Amino acid sequence: NAGVTQTPKFQVLKTGQSMTLQCAQDMNHNSMYWYRQDPGMGLRLIYYSASEGTTDKGEVPNGYNVSRLNKREFSLRLESAAPSQTSVYFCASSEGEGGTQYFGPGTRLLVL
């Protein structure tokens, strides 16, 4: 089992460019999540999907969109990147309430 995989591992964008971060899990989990990690701020939830076909906003959704393509895949899109979106992005999945979240290795994004 690969667990949770994320692509790309590292990306540099110019302000205004768009990109999609990909995430896939092979554990048949119902729930998937996108977080961003910034120094001194812990992890903050951007969007989550409690089950296939549903998505909801987290703490910091502005500037992002998501798609739960199927049960395995949950993508995060930046339509017009801004320097404030420079961060490390983590995808995670779990069985749901009370379940352990399993994290991917992260995507390091730099917006110039």
Partner 1 sequence: AQSVTQLDSQVPVFEEAPVELRCNYSSSVSVYLFWYVQYPNQGLQLLLKYLSGSTLVESINGFEAEFNKSQTSFHLRKPSVHISDTAEYFCAVSELGDNQGGKLIFGQGTELSVKP
Answer whether the bond into residue 8 is a cis peptide, omega within 30°: yes
Q: Is 34 in the site for partner 1 (CB under 8 A)?
A: no
What gap in Å lies between CA 46 and CA 35, rounded to an integer? 5
Binding of residue 53 to partner 1 (CB under 8 A): no
Q: Is 100 in the site for partner 1 (CB under 8 A)?
A: yes
Q: How far apart are CA 98 and CA 55, in angstroms?
A: 19
* 97 lies in the site for partner 1, by CB under 8 A: yes
Residue 95 CB, nearest approach to partner 1 (Å): 8
- Containing 45, the helix (H) or strand (E) segment is strand 43-49
Interacting residue with partner 1 among 2, 14, 28, 40 (CB under 8 A): 40
7 forms beta bridges with 22
Which residues here bind partner 1, judged by CB under 8 A? 4, 30-31, 33, 35, 40-45, 48-51, 56, 58-59, 90, 92, 94-101, 103-106
